[in-house]
Chain A
Amino acid sequence: MADVAFLALAVITIGSAIAALEMRSLIYGSIALMGTLGGVAGFFLLLDAPFVALFQLAIYVGSIAVLILFTVMLVKRELIFKKIEDRRRKFAGIGLMLVTMVALGAVFLDSGIKTITTDEPATDFRDIGTDFVTYYWPALILMGLLLAGSVTGALVLAKREEVENAKRAS
């Protein structure tokens, strides 16, 4: 069962990734990108990490893909993209992909993934939280400051228009 699901997810993820690169229509390309990101969320579900899977869905499919879609819709494709295609680039791309895959595969196989036990219970998100406030607390504080900074920046950006309007009025 898990093998069938894994194969289906792999086909969906890789197929829609290739489609996202090769589609002529940018909108369909970004829809295929959503398929890829959703497939990755499915892998997290298979790996017994529903917390990460749902965050993957909420953030990558729900926000980042929307951002890409929105940008693509408001852009005239002919103005920014020029099609450059020749055989040497294509073969160089395929060669680069093969080299990367072999290197990554070697790293993975060397990392002891073969001896991993597969029937562990699902990771509780409370454990993730405990880890964050104990061992990884500097990273947590850094992330908190970063997010606070970005929220403040968003507020400032939202406020700026009013200041400009006030200047214009005076």
Chain B
Amino acid sequence: MSVIAPNFKLSEFIKSLIDNAFWFLLIGVLVGLPAVFIVLFVIELPIINGELLTPFLALTWMTDPTRILPIVHAFMATDLFRVMIFPGFGFAALLAAGTIFAERKMLAKLQLRVGPFYCGKFEGILQLMGDGLKLISKEIIIPAKADKPIFWAAPVLFVAAAASFVAFIPVAPGWVVADVDVGLLGVFAVIGFFPIITILSAWSANSKFPFIGGIRALFQMVSFEIPLILSLLGVVMLTGSLNLSFIAASQSSFPWIVFLPIGAIVFYITMLAELERIPFDLPEAESEIVAGWLTELSGMMYGLVQLGTYLKLYAFAALFVVLFLGGWNGPMVVPPFPAELLANGIELGPVTANVSGLPLFTQEMLNGTLWFVLKTVAVIFFILLPRGVFPRIRIDMLLNLGWTKLIGLAFVNIFIALGLLYSGVLGPGGLQ
């Protein structure tokens, strides 16, 4: 066990906790309660169903599920819920955080290390929280000759671009933030923003290593965008739509990877390059150019860029699932919501509560989310795996790969899709 705090005594720690609780209570009683009562004197409380809505009544309502469930239902139907919580930012950030932890532990096991170990009882599970707190509390250092407005804006823009990428991903039938008719084109447009943000951030730091890393990132991202777009055109030809929800729903009997394996492989390789993962992590090659375009970022700015990177990783994995692995489609494994609970109410000993507004989520939605998350986690695993296996390749090999081999393979994939369509295997009259 390493010695983190040598003068640590449990009794003093408990004493400090009790101290804090005492002061909190004292100030709350002397200042907080009088303040609440003064406010209650001043404001006029509404009368609902012939009852004056006192704070006590409001608290009782908050614990009553028959009253709170309709409110939750109404909230779940709003756009705010979709953007902030379920198919949007919160869900993606949760998966991204899980990815960071799984990556560190998995790499450590691959290389016969232990990885994060000391934080938390089980396998260092609280390490992420510790790292987050560290990044938040660290000082943000701006280089003296940096271009300050761009330098401040770049990490925020990076997270914003990654989050808008997440917004296009359909997670379950009907559960998508932006269900637009040209969703795949929107994805292409958003992917095009990442190189701009990267090169601006790198240039504004006014330092050698970030600039070299930024130029590498620009080369890599711009040249791999072309095979990326071309490799997805096969799916668009077979489905005849750019709507991601429609593409996912069209794979109810076969996922497209069965017919377009070459496109899937090309997309996987370009995905690694766009995400700057090993073996294509030239922009942040830590053994050559310190940390590449992230060198001068510190504190929470670095944290934001990392958050954006992992959101982007989730979004790319989810895009792979939606386009090639069938999205939310899968056998129904979630049991239906018990019907007698709806009819008779929930019995808890002598009490029977008849709760309206159940079930919160439909069976299709839960099943779709389950399959989507399983497939996405599998794809994320395959994105993480090369990091423990491959060395980094040279920039000229990378560009050669992107401009000659991958573009050629993407065209082969397009011709396979056209052949399937014109020979009548797929499309009208065919299998699907």
- Do A and B pair up? The answer is yes
* Interface residue? B242 (CB, 8 A): yes
- A23-80 contacts to B (CB < 8 Å): 27, 31, 34, 50-51, 54-55, 57-58, 61-63, 65-66, 69-70, 73
Chain A interface residue bracket vs B: 20 to 34
CB neighbours (8 Å) of B242 from chain A are 125
Across the interface, do A155 and B404 meet the contact criterion of CB distance under 8 Å?
yes
Interface centre among A70, A159, A162 (most CB of B within 10 A): A70
A139 CB-CB contact with B under 8 Å: no
State whether A151 and B407 are in contact (beta carbons under 8 Å apart), knowing that A65-B196, A125-B242 are contacts in the complex.
yes
Is A142 interfacial (CB-CB < 8 Å)? no
Whether B222 lies near A66 (C-beta < 8 A) is yes
Known contacts A51-B185, A66-B222, A155-B407; A57/B192 CB under 8 A: yes
A154–B193 CA distance with the chains assembled, in angstroms:
23
Does B260 belong to the interface (CB within 8 Å)? no
Check: B188 CB closer than 8 A to any chain A CB: yes
Given contacts A31-B200, A69-B199, A158-B400, contact A63 B182 (CB under 8 A): no
Q: Which residue of B lies closest to A161 (CB)?
A: B396
Given known A27-B203, A69-B200, contact A63–B192 (CB-CB < 8 A): yes
Q: In the complex where A51-B185, A66-B218, A125-B242 touch, is A73 in contact with B199 (Cβ < 8 A)? A: yes
* Complex CA distance for A157 and B399, rounded to whole angstroms: 12
Alpha-carbon separation in the docked complex, A124 to B240 (Å) = 13
- Also in contact, A66 and B195, with CB within 8 A (given A27-B203, A50-B182): yes
Say yes or no for B181: interface residue by CB 8 A criterion: yes
Mark contacts of B169-186 with chain A using CB atoms, 8 A cut-off: 1 yes-contact digit, 0 otherwise: 000000000001110011
The residue that B404 contacts in the complex, of A61, A69, A158, with Cβ under 8 A, is A158
Distance (Å) between the CB of A29 and the closest chain B CB?
Answer: 13
Query: Taking CB as reference atom, which chain B residue is nearest A154?
Result: B403
* Distance from A82 Cβ to chain B, minimum over Cβ atoms (Å): 24
Contact A57 B189 (CB under 8 A): yes
**Partner among A51, A62, A161 whose Cβ is within 8 Å of the Cβ of B196:** A62
Decide: B188 and A51 in contact? CB cutoff 8 A: no
Q: Which of A58, A69, A70, A155 contacts B185 (CB 8 A)?
A: A58
- Which residue of A54, A66, A73, A155 contacts B189 across the interface (Cβ within 8 Å)? A54
Taking the closest CB of chain B, its distance from the CB of A151, in whole angstroms, is: 7
Chain B residue numbers with a CB within 8 Å of A51 are 182, 185
Alpha-carbon distance between A154 and B223 when the two chains are bound, in angstroms: 11
Shortest C-beta distance, B15 to chain A (Å), equals: 56
Q: Flag if B188 contacts A58 (CB, 8 Å).
A: yes
Give CA–CA (A57, B188) in the complex, Å.
Answer: 9
Main secondary structure, interface of A, reads helix
Identify the interface centre among A50, A155, A158: most chain B CB within 10 Å of its CB.
A158
- A50 x B404 contact (CB < 8 A): no
Q: CB-nearest residue of chain A relative to B408?
A: A155
0 or 1 for each of A140-155: is its CB under 8 Å from B? (1 = yes): 0000000000010011
B186, B192, B403: which has the most chain A beta carbons within 10 Å?
Answer: B192
B244 CB to nearest chain A CB (Å): 13
Contacts of B181 in A (CB 8 A): 50, 124-125
In the complex, A57→B189 CA distance in Å? 6
Which residue in chain B gives the minimum CB-CB distance to A50? Answer: B182
Q: Are A70 and B404 in contact (CB under 8 A)?
A: no
Q: How far is the CB of A38 from chain B (nearest CB, A)?
A: 10
Interface residue ranges of A115-169 to B (CB < 8 Å): 124-126, 151, 154-155, 158-159, 161-162
Q: Is the CB of A34 within 8 A of B203?
A: no
On chain B, the residues within 8 Å of A162 by CB distance are 400
| A159 partner residues in chain B, CB cutoff 8 A | 404
Q: Flag if A66 contacts B196 (CB, 8 Å).
A: yes
CB distance from B212 to the nearest CB of A (A): 12
B306 shortest CB reach to chain A, Å? 23
Bound Cα distance from A11 to B339, whole angstroms: 58
| Chain B residues closer than 8 Å to A151, beta-carbon distance | 407
Closest residue of chain B to A159, judged by CB? B404
If A27-B203, A34-B196, A69-B200 touch, does A62 touch B403 (CB 8 Å cutoff)? no
Closest residue on chain A to residue B221 by CB atoms? A66
Bound Cα distance from A69 to B200, whole angstroms: 9
Give the CA-CA distance A168 to B425 in the complex, in Å: 50
A residues less than 8 Å from B195 (CB atoms):
62, 66
CA distance A27 to B199 in the complex (A): 11
- Compute how far the CA of A126 lies from the CA of B195 in the bound complex, rounded to whole angstroms: 30
22 example contacts (A-B, Cβ-Cβ < 8 A) are as follows: A27-B150, A50-B180, A51-B185, A54-B186, A57-B192, A58-B185, A58-B192, A61-B196, A62-B192, A62-B193, A62-B225, A66-B222, A69-B196, A70-B215, A124-B181, A125-B181, A125-B182, A126-B240, A155-B403, A158-B399, A158-B404, A159-B404
Q: Which are the 5 A-B pairs with shortest beta-carbon distances? A: A62-B192, A57-B189, A54-B185, A58-B189, A158-B403
Residues of A within 8 A of B (CB): 27, 31, 34, 50-51, 54-55, 57-58, 61-63, 65-66, 69-70, 73, 124-126, 151, 154-155, 158-159, 161-162
B residues whose Cβ falls under 8 Å from a Cβ of A: 147, 150, 180-182, 185-186, 188-189, 191-193, 195-196, 199-200, 203, 215, 218, 222, 225, 240, 242, 396, 399-400, 403-404, 407
